[in-house]
Structure 1
Amino acid sequence: MNPQQPLIQFYQQHHGWLRAWLQRRLGHAGDAADFAHDTYLRVIESRQVLEDIREPRAFLTTVARRVMVSHLRRREVERAYLDALAHRPECLAPSPEERAIVLETLLEIDRVLDGLPAKVRQAFLWAQLDGLSYAQIAERLGVSLSSVKQYMARAVRQCYFPQGAP
Structure 2
Amino acid sequence: MRRTGNPETAADLVHEVFLKLQSIRTPLYSDGEARAYIYRMMQNLAIDHVRTESRRSAIIDGAQILFEDAVMSPEAIAISRDQLRRIDRALGDLPPKCREAFVMTRVTNLTHKEIAERLGVSVSLIEKYQLRALRHCRDFLANDLQ
TM range (shorter): 0.3 to 0.5
Asked which structure has the greater RCO (Cα within 8 Å, sep 6+), the reply is 2
Q: What TM-score does the superposition give when structure 2 sets the normalisation length? A: 0.42
Q: What TM-score does the superposition give when structure 1 sets the normalisation length? A: 0.38
Larger Rg computed on CA atoms: 1
